[in-house]
Amino acid sequence: MSDKKYIPRPLYFNKIEPFIGSGLIKVLTGQRRVGKSYVLLQVMDEIRKRDPEAVIISINKEDFRFDSIKNHTHLMEYLQVHRSCKGHHYLFIDEVQDIAGFEVALRSLLSVDDWDIYITGSNATLLSGELATYLSGRYIQIPVHALSYSEFIQFHQLPDSVETLMKYIRWGGMPHLIHLPKEDAVIFEYLRNIHNTIVLRDIVERFNIRNVRFLQDLIHYLADITGSVLSAKRISDYLKSQRINLSPKLVLEYLTYLESVYLIDRVKRSEIEGRKIFEIGEKFYFEDIGMRHAIVPYMQKDIGKVLENLVYHQLVVNSNQVFVGKHGDVEIDFVAIKNDIKMYVQVAYLITDELTHEREFGNLLSIPDNCRKMVVSMDETAEGNYKGIEHVSIRNFLTEVL
């Protein structure tokens, strides 16, 4: 067993398990500190059970002991020293993008039958480019996300209750929170430190950003209007109104950087019937809602956009492809597609009057197909359906496998 204690995350382990011992590189991607390393520990323990003679070599580029491994040559030299003359070899590399030319070494190792390779990375641009170029068809990617609400309950050993949900809404799902005092000041200091590491190390240094203030202003704006339909021009115009001169072209570049480190997700709009993808007007959601609150403190008036972010997170955790739906003049919050099965989701804080009921249910009723449709709200008594459209409480939605 691993020396480090961890809580198993079967959602991700079960996706990796069928490929243990295969000739494919297993690539775990996701924002820093979402728990990729601990999923690898779970895989290592499974390998030790299956193969007591396994030669496991683990490299963590966030550990100073491995600082000397700076490029693919250093990596190959390290492996040559630590490999064994017998037994099957298993290689685990954490934050592989910090090794220059890593893909060259991995391609070489793939030509040797006794290497089974697992890597993690927190930069989508580097991983997708290098792996697609050098290792096309030779790897599988498993996105790892911040804790879902169900995992939050398990990690924090709390009951499924309104009080627990409010803690999840406020603090988010970064796994390390279980080791911290349950005090806002401590938790948000930790989350701000993660945010600063992502911004300064993964974006500013890697992409040679000169005006850090502009980048921070952009992130703050995205946090403030989470879930609104935006375009680069609209963002640029707003920033100019605040005397921050950032061109639409530069806004697009910065948005790409933020996506590449998994801080935010860009959700495109799609025409429901024609499947046309609109190039203008997208929504942005944070990988972890607690990280959003570390940038813009949570207030009750933000509950609508926070609920949208949580619903989006639950959909992608369950491997759905997600769009914002457009049906004529009507907008559907989310169109989720999984295994060619489509589902429509509207999100509302509370259905308190006829006008809100007509808007949320009416939008879904206007879609002329028989796919699953639901309205998700904070109403704890939400149940049943209206003309075939489900009304589901956010707490039940977040514990459902979709």
CA–CA gap between residue 262 and residue 175 (Å, rounded): 16
Residue 98 sits in the same domain as residue 76: yes
Amino acid 379: pLDDT: 94
Q: Token match 């939050």: residue?
A: 152
Residue 104 sits in the same domain as residue 197: no
Residue 233 sits in the same domain as residue 378: yes
Query: If 0-12 CB within 10 Å is exposed, 13-18 middle and 19+ buried, where does residue 388 land?
Result: exposed
Query: Which of 143, 178, 200 represents a domain boundary (last residue)?
Result: 143
Assess if residue 3 is contained within a domain.
Answer: no
Amino acid 286: pLDDT: 98
DSSP run (H or E) holding 259? helix 248-260
Amino acid 364: pLDDT: 95
Residue 153 sits in the same domain as residue 134: no
Q: What is the DSSP string of 332-373?
A: EEEEEEETTEEEEEEE-S---SHHHHHHHHHHHHTS-S-SEE
Assess if residue 322 is contained within a domain.
Answer: yes
Q: What is the DSSP string of 244-255?
A: ----HHHHHHHH
What range defines the domain where residue 15 resides? 10-143
Query: Which of 143, 160, 191 represents a domain boundary (last residue)?
Result: 143
Residue 30 sits in the same domain as residue 116: yes
Residues paired with 353 in a beta bridge: none
Residue 98 sits in the same domain as residue 210: no
Residue 314 sits in the same domain as residue 359: yes
Residues with Cβ within 8 Å of 362's Cβ and at least 6 positions away in sequence, in order, are none
Count up the domains in the chain and report the number. Answer: 2
Amino acid 389: pLDDT: 95
Residue 300 sits in the same domain as residue 192: yes
Cβ(41)–Cβ(6) below 8 Å: yes
Smallest CA-to-CA distance from 344 within 313, 328, 368, 379 is with 368
What stretches of 4-161 show up as alpha helix (H) in DSSP?
10-16, 36-50, 72-82, 102-110, 124-134, 149-156
Amino acid 133: pLDDT: 83
Assess if residue 26 is contained within a domain.
Answer: yes
Amino acid 137: pLDDT: 85
Amino acid 125: pLDDT: 79
Assess if residue 4 is contained within a domain.
Answer: no
Provide the whole-model pTM: 0.95
Assess if residue 155 is contained within a domain.
Answer: yes
Query: Which of 143, 165, 188 represents a domain boundary (last residue)?
Result: 143
Q: Report the first-to-last Cα separation within the chain, whole angstroms.
A: 33
SS3 call for 4: coil
Amino acid 5: pLDDT: 84
Cβ(360)–Cβ(308) below 8 Å: no
Q: Exposure string (b/e) for 287-326, b if CB count within 10 Å is 16 or more?
A: bbbbbbbbbbebeeebeebbbbbbbbbbbbbeebebbbbb
Q: How many helices, marked H, and strands, marked E, lie in the chain?
A: 15, 13
Assess if residue 1 is contained within a domain.
Answer: no
CATH number for the domain that contains residue 87 = 3.40.50.300
Residue 101 sits in the same domain as residue 199: no
Per-residue pLDDT of the chain (402 residues; tens, 9 = 90+): 566 789 999 999 999 999 999 989 999 999 999 999 999 999 999 999 999 999 999 999 999 999 999 999 999 999 999 998 888 999 999 999 999 999 999 999 988 878 999 999 999 877 777 788 888 889 999 999 999 999 999 999 999 999 999 999 999 999 999 999 999 999 999 999 999 999 999 999 999 998 899 999 999 999 999 999 999 999 999 888 988 888 999 999 999 999 999 999 999 999 887 667 766 789 999 999 999 999 999 999 999 999 999 999 999 999 999 999 988 888 999 999 999 999 999 999 999 888 888 888 999 999 989 999 999 999 998 888 899 999 999 999 999 887
Residue 112 sits in the same domain as residue 175: no
SS3 call for 299: coil
Assess if residue 282 is contained within a domain.
Answer: yes
Assess if residue 2 is contained within a domain.
Answer: no
CA–CA gap between residue 13 and residue 65 (Å, rounded): 27
Residue 174 sits in the same domain as residue 123: no
Crossing angle (nearest 10°) for helices 72-82 and 102-110: 40
Residue 125 sits in the same domain as residue 174: no
